[in-house]
Structure 1
Amino acid sequence: MTYKIAFGNISFKNNAQIQKPEKKDNPSPVVKNAQPLAKPPVSTLLAYVTYRADSKNAGEVGVKFFNTLSVEQMKKQYGELAQKTAAELAQRAGKPNQVLNWIEVLPQTQLKRLDEIYALADSLKQNGSKKLGIIGIGGSKHTIENLLSLTGNADKAVFLSAVDPDSIDDFVKKLGDPQKAAVLVASKSGTTLEPSVDFEAVRKALKDDFKNYVCITDKDESKSKLRQLANKNGYKCGIIHDECGGRFGAFDDHTLTALAYCGMSKDDMKKMLEASLKAQKQFLSDDITTNKALQRAVFNAHSVLNGKQNQYDYYFSDRFEGTALWNTQMKKESHKSLYKVSGDLTGPAFLHNSTEADLDEGNDSSFFTFNTIKNAGGEKYKAYNALINGSLKAYSELHPVSLVELKDLSPSSIGEFVELKHFEAMYTGMMLRALKSKDSHTEFKHPDVLPEVVQPHVGIYKKEVEKILKSTP
Structure 2
Amino acid sequence: MVSPIIINQSILTVSELDSVFGKRVEKIHNEMVNGTSIGADFLGWRNLPEEVLENELESVLAVADKLRKSAEIVVVIGVGGSYLGAKAIQDVLSPYFGQNTGNPEVIFAGHNLSGTYMKQLLQYISDKEVAVIVISKSGTTTEPAIAFRILLEYMEGRYGSSTSERIVAITDKSVGALRELANRSEFASFVVPDDVGGRFSVLTPVGLLPLAVAGVDIEQLLKGAKDAVAEFSTADIASNSAYQYAALRNHLLNEGFDIEILASFSPRFATFHEWWKQLFGESEGKDGKGIFPASVAYPTDLHSMGQFVQDGRRELFETFVQFIESMGDNAIPSTTDNLDGLNYLSDKTMNEINEVTLHATMEAHEAGGVPLILLKVGNHDAYHIGYLIYFFEISCAMSAYLLGVNPFDQPGVEEYKKNIFRMLEKPGFVG
Does residue 117 of structure 2 align to residue 167 of structure 1? Answer: yes
Does residue 4 of structure 2 align to residue 60 of structure 1? Answer: yes
User: What is the CA distance between 1:97 and its match in structure 2?
Assistant: 5.7
Question: Could you give the per-residue CA deviations for residues 239-276 of structure 1, whole angstroms, max 9, x where no partner exists?
Answer: 21111000101111121111111112xxx422321321
| Residue aligned with 2:83, SS | helix
| Residue aligned with 1:388, SS | helix
- Once residues 378 and 36 of structure 2 are traced to their aligned partners in structure 1, the CA distance between those partners, rounded to angstroms, is 28
2:167 paired residue among 171, 189, 213? 213
- Once residues 265 and 43 of structure 2 are traced to their aligned partners in structure 1, the CA distance between those partners, rounded to angstroms, is 31
Residue matched to 1:145: 87
- Contact 1:93/1:101 (8 A) holds in 2: no
- Equivalent AA in structure 2 for residue 414 of structure 1: I
Higher relative helix content? 2
Residue matched to 2:180: 228
- Once residues 62 and 174 of structure 1 are traced to their aligned partners in structure 2, the CA distance between those partners, rounded to angstroms, is 43
- Equivalent AA in structure 2 for residue 163 of structure 1: L
Q: Which moved more, 1:296-305 or 1:100-109?
A: 100-109
- Equivalent AA in structure 2 for residue 121 of structure 1: A
- Once residues 176 and 370 of structure 1 are traced to their aligned partners in structure 2, the CA distance between those partners, rounded to angstroms, is 42
Q: Rate the CA distance shift 1:93–1:173 in 2: closer, same or farther, 3 A.
A: farther
- Contact 2:32/2:40 (8 A) holds in 1: no
Does residue 243 of structure 2 align to residue 294 of structure 1? Answer: yes
Residue matched to 2:411: 456
- Once residues 208 and 95 of structure 2 are traced to their aligned partners in structure 1, the CA distance between those partners, rounded to angstroms, is 13
| Residue aligned with 1:338, SS | coil
User: What is the CA distance between 1:153 and its match in structure 2?
Assistant: 6.4
User: What is the CA distance between 1:369 and its match in structure 2?
Assistant: 0.3
Residue matched to 2:424: 469
- Once residues 356 and 423 of structure 1 are traced to their aligned partners in structure 2, the CA distance between those partners, rounded to angstroms, is 33
- Contact 1:311/1:339 (8 A) holds in 2: no
Q: Rate the CA distance shift 1:455–1:153 in 2: closer, same or farther, 3 A.
A: farther
- Once residues 297 and 406 of structure 2 are traced to their aligned partners in structure 1, the CA distance between those partners, rounded to angstroms, is 28
User: What is the CA distance between 1:102 and its match in structure 2?
Assistant: 0.8
- Once residues 403 and 364 of structure 1 are traced to their aligned partners in structure 2, the CA distance between those partners, rounded to angstroms, is 19
Residue matched to 2:392: 421
User: What is the CA distance between 1:320 and its match in structure 2?
Assistant: 1.1
Does residue 318 of structure 2 align to residue 368 of structure 1? Answer: yes
- Contact 2:280/2:293 (8 A) holds in 1: no
User: What is the CA distance between 1:383 and its match in structure 2?
Assistant: 1.3
- Once residues 387 and 284 of structure 2 are traced to their aligned partners in structure 1, the CA distance between those partners, rounded to angstroms, is 22
- Equivalent AA in structure 2 for residue 201 of structure 1: I
Query: Aligned residue pairs: how many?
Result: 392
1:430 paired residue among 376, 382, 401? 401
- Once residues 253 and 261 of structure 1 are traced to their aligned partners in structure 2, the CA distance between those partners, rounded to angstroms, is 11
Q: CA RMSD of the aligned region, Å? A: 2.5
- Once residues 456 and 111 of structure 1 are traced to their aligned partners in structure 2, the CA distance between those partners, rounded to angstroms, is 35
Does residue 293 of structure 2 align to residue 339 of structure 1? Answer: no
User: What is the CA distance between 1:375 and its match in structure 2?
Assistant: 5.4
Residue matched to 1:78: 21
1:196 paired residue among 145, 148, 172? 145
User: What is the CA distance between 1:106 and its match in structure 2?
Assistant: 5.8
Residue matched to 1:4: none
Q: TM-score, normalization: structure 1?
A: 0.77
- Once residues 459 and 205 of structure 1 are traced to their aligned partners in structure 2, the CA distance between those partners, rounded to angstroms, is 30
Residue matched to 1:409: 380
1:108 paired residue among 51, 56, 63? 51
- Once residues 141 and 213 of structure 1 are traced to their aligned partners in structure 2, the CA distance between those partners, rounded to angstroms, is 16
**Once the two structures are aligned, what percentage of the paired residues are identical?**
23
User: What is the CA distance between 1:164 and its match in structure 2?
Assistant: 2.7
- Contact 2:323/2:380 (8 A) holds in 1: yes
- Contact 1:94/1:101 (8 A) holds in 2: no
1:283 paired residue among 232, 235, 240? 232
- Contact 2:39/2:409 (8 A) holds in 1: no
User: What is the CA distance between 1:458 and its match in structure 2?
Assistant: 1.2
Residue matched to 1:24: none
- Once residues 74 and 265 of structure 2 are traced to their aligned partners in structure 1, the CA distance between those partners, rounded to angstroms, is 27
- Once residues 417 and 310 of structure 1 are traced to their aligned partners in structure 2, the CA distance between those partners, rounded to angstroms, is 21
- Contact 2:48/2:204 (8 A) holds in 1: no
| Residue aligned with 1:172, SS | helix
- Once residues 218 and 83 of structure 2 are traced to their aligned partners in structure 1, the CA distance between those partners, rounded to angstroms, is 19
| Residue aligned with 1:190, SS | coil
- Equivalent AA in structure 1 for residue 155 of structure 2: L
- Equivalent AA in structure 1 for residue 149 of structure 2: E
Q: Rate the CA distance shift 1:301–1:315 in 2: closer, same or farther, 3 A.
A: same
| Residue aligned with 2:421, SS | helix
Residue matched to 1:309: 258
Q: Rate the CA distance shift 1:349–1:431 in 2: closer, same or farther, 3 A.
A: same
- Equivalent AA in structure 1 for residue 60 of structure 2: I
- Contact 1:78/1:298 (8 A) holds in 2: yes
Q: TM-score, normalization: structure 2?
A: 0.85
User: What is the CA distance between 1:339 and its match in structure 2?
Assistant: 3.3
- Contact 1:93/1:100 (8 A) holds in 2: no
- Equivalent AA in structure 2 for residue 387 of structure 1: T
- Contact 1:300/1:428 (8 A) holds in 2: yes
2:360 paired residue among 382, 390, 394? 390
Question: Could you give the per-residue CA deviations for residues 276-308 of structure 1, whole angstroms, max 9, x where no partner exists?
Answer: 122123223111111011110111001010011
- Once residues 281 and 95 of structure 1 are traced to their aligned partners in structure 2, the CA distance between those partners, rounded to angstroms, is 23
- Once residues 365 and 109 of structure 1 are traced to their aligned partners in structure 2, the CA distance between those partners, rounded to angstroms, is 41
- Once residues 272 and 346 of structure 1 are traced to their aligned partners in structure 2, the CA distance between those partners, rounded to angstroms, is 24
Q: Rate the CA distance shift 1:379–1:163 in 2: closer, same or farther, 3 A.
A: closer
Does residue 306 of structure 2 align to residue 355 of structure 1? Answer: yes
- Contact 1:89/1:284 (8 A) holds in 2: no
Q: Rate the CA distance shift 1:153–1:176 in 2: closer, same or farther, 3 A.
A: farther
